[in-house]
Amino acid sequence: MAIIMLKEVKEYARIDIDEDDPLLETLIIAAEEYLKNATGREYPETDSDGEPVNYVLEKIYLQLLIAYWYEKRTPAGGVGEDFSFMTKSLMLQLQNRQVT
């Protein structure tokens, strides 16, 4: 299950060309794997009651990470030293979030 869709990434990063869609799709997959590995969590489509889950903080983090990788062309899985304090703080929140 994808946490974030190509359309959401393109809107966030203000990318209005389609030529980079294959690259963006690869970055989306890599970023979601990065998130799963960093948090040690899975992200199911529905909660225990069968209700859809909206991963708001996760989407923000993924948008930031994908846009960063896209602009910097950093190898997937790597985060440069200039990746902001805000994104590091967001990841700490995601890692320490209590699962309900």
DSSP characters for 12-41? HHT---STTHHHHHHHHHHHHHHHHHHHT-
Does residue 84 fall inside a structural domain? yes
Does residue 65 fall inside a structural domain? yes
pLDDT band of residue 94 (cuts 50, 70, 90) is confident
Structurally, how many domains does the chain consist of? 1
Does residue 68 fall inside a structural domain? yes
The owner of tokens 């299950």 is 1
pLDDT for residue 87 is more than 70: yes
Q: According to the model, what pLDDT value does residue 31 have? A: 92
Closest CA to 66 of 77, 52, 81: 77
Q: According to the model, what pLDDT value does residue 90 have? A: 77
Q: According to the model, what pLDDT value does residue 91 have? A: 78
Does residue 1 fall inside a structural domain? no
C-alpha to C-alpha distances, 7 to 15, 18, 84, nearest whole angstrom: 9, 11, 24
Residue-number span of the structural domain to which 86 is assigned: 6-96
Question: What pTM, to 2 d.p., does this model score?
Answer: 0.76
pLDDT band of residue 93 (cuts 50, 70, 90) is confident
pLDDT tens-place string over residues 27-84: 999 999 989 988 898 999 999 999 999 899 999 999 999 998 898 875 555 555 566 7
Q: Which residue has better confidence, 90 or 57?
A: 57
